[in-house]
A = this chain, B = another copy of it.
Amino acid sequence: MHERNSVSDLAGILRGELSRYSVGEKLPSSRALVDRFRVSPVTVSRALGTLAAEGLVVTRPGAGAFRAAPHSAPARPGDTSWQQVALSVETPGEAVPRAVDASGVLSTLAEPPPGVIELSGGYLHPTLQPERALAAALGRAGRRPGAWGRPPIDGVGELRAWFAREIGGPAGTVAPSDVLVTAGGQSALTAALRALAPPGAPVLVESPAYPGILAAARASGQRLVPVPVDAGGVRTDLLAEAFRASGARVLVCQPLYQNPTGAVLAGERRREVVRIAREAGAFVVEDDFARFLSHEDAPAPAPTLAAEDPDGIVVHVCSLTKITSPSLRVGALAARGPVLERLRAIQVVDSFFVPRPLQEAALELVGSPAWSRHRRTVAAELRTRREVLLAALERELPDLRVDFAPPGGFYVWARLPDGTDEAALAAAALRAGVVVSPGRPYFAAEAPAPFLRIGFATTAGTAELEDGVRGLRTAWEEWTGTAAARKP
């Protein structure tokens, strides 16, 4: 945070001084700027990067930074208003809304404003990421002969075999040939949804569900049909009727540490979900995003649904990103039967293949001694953080109700008192320096009650986490105060 502020401060100073230089003239060297402003070389480099992004300077590695030629406006001012028509024209009989809503996804991907405590993001805090091991793995991967060539279309063989072992578990029921390497979990979800249901078709989703699933289905023109989730996972007593009433051929669910509720699909329900889907002639997309996010005190997770499904009902999605770093965008799809060919074709046509150096780096990482060390560290740290967060919430915000906070994943899903305006509360939280996620975007249709998702993996440590909860209390008091004042 400190670093972020000094970058923008330095960029501001340099921006103001730019008029002293003529176009093409060299700016002072990085070393000179380091000395003058007493900041780190990284800060100087990022500040110059900011100005370069604005088109104000041009940087040439090894040579320095130069004042850029001013960005010339087009010969005449453009008129893009015709696009509003072109982007809205529909085909006859089409049921697909054209606009694509990325807001639910963007809120967990965007960097929060500087100085704000993030209780909302979808990734481990940088201090919990295995940065050094990744740097070493990538360096080795990039130097291997052939590292930059075409990988096998379905993924590097050893990595497919590794994913097959992880997905199949001790029973070993998933073969490497059942696996496709993907560019992270979201790409895999998008490919699965596009492969399994045509535009306009209904898709069953959990309620609440991860907004990335809702956005991907909507972007594919599919209609969302929500099925409620409780502490035992998706409600199987409502599932058969949801398939029957909608005619859906796909259910997307997260059986383990569901996002946002943390629900774990319980014993008998695991078999029920697959049985009901089989009877409906439908696929189950198992988004197993959190298998590596078990906390230290968690019982061993149940096997994947894919491991126990010989009939190709389950299309399995997983990823290394959550347990490592946002930019290690390496995941997998696993499936059996003709659907695998459809998935492969969609993936190849959409994006060809996953860059080989990233696949090789992933393989280096999971094969290194750092891997199990890293997993143990994260498991211990997530447990501590969950306990600290729950204690702080109980202390500071007794009005919030946390029904279950299972020993896995990054989040606590807190029920707000009836009538709470989530959006107003989140806005008040931001004023108090804390980002949290309002519950609304997690529901495909109307939300049954107000909620907040509070993350505990994205702060620098437990102290910042507790600061965040205190900020949330300030916001809560502000909101309840305002709400009370409004009453006649």
Contacts and interface: CB of A to CB of B under 8 A. Distances in A.
Interface of A: 42, 49-50, 52-55, 58-62, 69-87, 89-91, 93-96, 98-102, 105-106, 109-111, 123, 126, 129, 131, 134-135, 138-139, 141-143, 145-153, 156-158, 160-161, 164-165, 171-173, 175-176, 183-184, 186-187, 190, 194-196, 198-201, 212, 215-216, 219, 221, 249, 278, 281-283, 308-312, 324-329, 336-339, 342, 344-346, 348-353, 355-358, 361, 364, 367-369
A158 B49 contact: yes
18 contacts: A52-B158, A55-B175, A59-B367, A75-B173, A75-B308, A78-B309, A78-B336, A80-B311, A82-B278, A87-B342, A89-B249, A91-B95, A105-B349, A111-B152, A148-B326, A184-B352, A351-B351, A358-B358
A73 B196 CA distance: 26
A62 to B, nearest CB: 7
Interface of A is mostly: loop
Contacts of A346: 100, 219
B249 A148 contact: no
A211 to B, nearest CB: 10
A148 B61 contact: no
Contacts of A58: 165
Given A74-B310, A100-B345, A348-B102, A338 B84 contact: yes
A77 B173 CA distance: 11
Given A53-B176, A158-B53, A355-B327, A100 B349 contact: yes
B352 A350 contact: no
A110 B348 CA distance: 11
A94 B337 contact: no
Given A148-B325, A158-B59, A348-B109, A200 B89 contact: no
